[in-house]
Amino acid sequence: MAQWDALVDAALARLASRSLLRATRPVALAPPPAPPEIFPCPGPWDRAAVEIRLDRATLHQWLAEGGEGSGQEEKVDEKLILFSGNDYMGLSSHPAIRHAAVKAAEEYGMGPRGSALICGYTTYHKMVEESLAELKKKEDCLLCPTGFSANMSVMTALGNISSLLAAGRKPAEDERIAIFSDALNHASIIDGIRLVERQQEVVSFVYKHCDMSHLELLLSSCSMEKKVVVTDSLFSMDGDFVPLPELVKLRRKYGFLLVIDDAHGTLVCGENGGGAPELFECENEIDISVGTLSKAAGCQGGFIACSTRWKRLIQSRGRSFIFSTALPVPVVASVYAALYVSREERWRRSVIWRHVQYFASLTKLNITSPIISIVVGSEKAALRSGRDMLRSGFHVTPIRPPTVPPNSCRLRITLSASHSSDDIKRLVDALTPWLPHKHDIQIYAVASKL
């Protein structure tokens, strides 16, 4: 990708000439103690990740949604099994993560408070960046407050390339960057693109969901030289993977910059938890890999794994990174522990994928990810199905507009290493009235091969 390296270098040179390059200066903190304790199998702490209790008033309100209630409070158990979270690895309640956060809080409180470019960046943040860069097989990494801010930072930095190279004037249309975005990309990607498009730095094209033929048609019809394709790797509301092998072939043919949001694939997919690129054996073909630490890592934060030149540009021009307070040290310490546990407790990934296979075998549905989306149609049906889940002892939140389009409301189910086989069996029993063989309901499943 020599063309993009040259463009970024030129943008960096422009920033340097104006003394606008920014860099983090880590505040030194004592390194964490010996590696945290790991375990060969689930422990009692794992149940804390999926066993929850709803407030009685909240439970009653949820059951009354839709106006079909009798007006009398139903007697439903407040204890529920959570099947709607994103803690795929079950790490949020792991002793190592707890102890890391507690110890860091005892020693440093929340740590120095400020943006990463002022005083909020510490040697703990640096250690997490190095671990993530190694996991993603990238030269460098930038830690962000959230996955949302990470995507926004990438998009704004991309748009700034056009403005920087235009040297003080609005870039002409052929000088702008063409961004090709999947129709079902995450809101943070969409918002980032809209922002830089309003600033007349990019021109955006939306291709049909995972439709590589449509994408190629748009690519081949576009005369703009600077092209970027951005996509989720594992789509959060449908549970399907982007066809990465086909996308890589297009990258080689058209020379575009490939940016993926691997929020739901990181730590879940691949032997080492490297995400969808590791699963599809194309890590070297991904230019920028965005991710989150609030899902499978069980903590909080976002990251951008990329080359050092891209990191220098993003941390100098990514507004949502620059103007956000850095993550607190206890959170960063817990992330560092979570990455270690994920690397050592590989059995957790095996459990997740066994659960996927078990759910598929019980339902005869073609699902191949821990995200299972059962489309029920109307909002009324969605609310009714959600109430059914509550009465059966499960927390499965109905997904409605604007998160999904009208008349595609659904039950979004997520599987975790903290669930037991019995949890899944009982859930499937409760879901039976809503499965396709009982009602003519479309289910969104993964068409990609693992």
Give, for all 450 residues of the chain, the pLDDT tens digit.
Answer: 789 999 999 999 999 999 999 999 999 999 887 888 999 999 999 999 999 998 888 888 888 876 655 555 677 888 999 999 999 999 999 999 999 999 999 999 999 999 999 999 999 999 999 999 999 999 999 999 999 999 999 999 999 999 999 887 888 888 999 999 999 999 999 999 999 999 999 999 999 999 999 999 999 999 999 999 999 999 999 999 999 999 999 999 999 999 999 999 999 999 999 999 999 999 999 999 999 999 999 999 999 999 999 999 999 999 999 999 999 999 999 999 999 999 999 999 999 999 999 999 999 998 989 999 999 989 999 999 999 999 999 999 999 998 888 999 999 999 999 999 999 999 999 999 888 754 343 333 333 333
Place of tokens 């903190």: 29
Query: φ, ψ for residue 66 (rounded to 5)?
Result: 100, -10
- pLDDT value at position 444? 37
Kind and range of the H or E element at 340?
helix 329-344
CB 289 within 8 A of CB 143: no
Kind and range of the H or E element at 291?
strand 288-292
Based on its alpha-carbon atoms, the radius of gyration of the chain, rounded to whole angstroms, reads 23
CB 436 within 8 A of CB 373: no
- pLDDT value at position 440? 44
Give the bridge partners for 231, in sequence order: 260
DSSP 41-77: S--HHHHTTTEEE--HHHHHHHHHTTS-S-SSPP---
CB atoms within 10 A of CB 450: 11
Cα–Cα distances (Å) from 43 to 93, 97, 101, 339, 417, in that order, read: 10, 14, 19, 18, 11
* Nearest alpha carbon to residue 409 among 450, 448, 378: 378
For residue 115, give the DSSP letter. B
CB atoms within 10 A of CB 342: 24
Helices 123-135 & 329-344 angle (0-180, nearest 10): 30
In sequence order, which residues have a C-beta less than 8 Å from that of residue 119 and are 6 or more positions away? Answer: 27, 112, 113
In sequence order, which residues have a C-beta less than 8 Å from that of residue 354 and are 6 or more positions away? Answer: none
Distance CA 367, CA 365 (A): 6
Query: φ, ψ for residue 52 (rounded to 5)?
Result: -130, 170
pTM of the model: 0.93
- Helix (H) and strand (E) counts in the chain: 16, 14
In sequence order, which residues have a C-beta less than 8 Å from that of residue 221 and are 6 or more positions away? Answer: none
Q: How many residues does the chain have?
A: 450
Q: What angle do CA 339, 450, 220 make, to 5 degrees?
A: 100
- pLDDT value at position 1? 76
433, burial (CB in 10 Å: exposed 0-12, middle 13-18, buried 19+): exposed
- pLDDT value at position 447? 32
- pLDDT value at position 69? 52
Q: How many alpha carbons lie under 13 Å from residue 16 in its C-beta half-sphere?
A: 9
Give the bridge partners for 51, in sequence order: 81
- The domain 97-344 having CATH identifier 3.40.640.10: the answer here is yes
* Nearest alpha carbon to residue 446 among 297, 319, 279, 215: 279
- pLDDT value at position 154? 98
- pLDDT value at position 66? 64
Strand 79-82 and strand 51-53: the pairing is antiparallel
Q: Which CATH class is domain 52-82+346-444?
A: alpha beta
Torsion of CA 35, 37, 38, 43, to 10 degrees: -160
In sequence order, which residues have a C-beta less than 8 Å from that of residue 186 and are 6 or more positions away? Answer: 151, 232, 236, 261, 263
Give span(s): CATH 3.90.1150.10, the chain: 52-82+346-444
44, burial (CB in 10 Å: exposed 0-12, middle 13-18, buried 19+): exposed
For residue 440, give the DSSP letter. -
Strand 177-182 and strand 202-207: the pairing is parallel
CB 90 within 8 A of CB 416: yes
- pLDDT value at position 174? 85
- pLDDT value at position 442? 39
Alpha helix locations (H) across 111-228? 123-135, 147-165, 187-198, 212-221
Give span(s): CATH 3.40.640.10, the chain: 97-344
